[in-house]
Amino acid sequence: MSERDSWPDAPELVDPPAEDEETPDAEVAADPEPEPSVEEPEAEEPEAEEPEAEEPEAEEPADAVAAPSEHAEGDFSVPDGYGILQGKSEGGRRAVGIVVSRFNGAVTSKLLEGALAELETAGVAREAITVMPVPGAFELPIAAMALAKTRRYACIVALGCVIRGDTPHFDFVAGEAASGLQLAALETGVPVAFGVLTLSEAEQADDRLDKGAEAVRTGLEMADVFAQLRAAAQR
């Protein structure tokens, strides 16, 4: 036996697998699919609470609203050590002329009643009082001027009532009455007391009917202080 016969038989070659054939042994284990990450639920933001609608405050009825004051409270005083020339609302032997508007007569007649009662309280005799009715407040200045120019009266009291309407009539009449009465006093030197009501509505007159008496007190006080001034000038 030769040396070649003692060699082992060559192993049989196995055909390589075709390209399209799968070899289970040669499969590479696929990467495991990543487990889905569990997302933590986002913290829910608290919903913004809508502000509660405020209930409108109940409006107070018009009657409950305090009417604005027409003057500041408190008394007037003059410091000590000064000479004072001040009149008093006393009638004595003085004569007084009253001019009064017939327009809005339901109001002006009551103003006149208050003025006459105040003159009686002040000691002015009836025969020393002259009442001159005129058509309206616009005619008050010329009537007051006429009475003052006679030099028979210590003071003139003007009474009237103007009520605001839907037109500018109120502004013209009230303004002209006020400036005209002041002019009558300035030109003659005779005190003219302003007793004309200027109202937004007729119902306001009830709370102001004392203006007639107030105008009388004003006129008499001015007449008295003017008399004192003339007497002091003659000394």
Name the β-bridge partners of 160: 196
Does the annotation count 169 as an active-site position? yes
Residue 84 DSSP code: -
Could you tell me the sign of the dihedral formed by the alpha carbons of 133, 134, 136, 141, in that order? negative
Name the token pair of 205.
């007159």
What is each CA distance from 213 to 53, 63, 118, 119, 199, in whole angstroms?
Answer: 54, 27, 5, 8, 18
Closest CA to 191 of 222, 214, 225, 231: 222
Selecting among 102, 151, 152, 169, the annotated active-site residue is 169
What is the secondary structure of 111-162 as a DSSP string?
HHHHHHHHHHHHT--GGGEEEEEESSGGGHHHHHHHHHHTT--SEEEEEEEE
A 10 A CB-CB count for 228 gives 14
Give the integer Cα–Cα distance in Å for 147 and 192.
10
* Catalytic machinery residues: 169
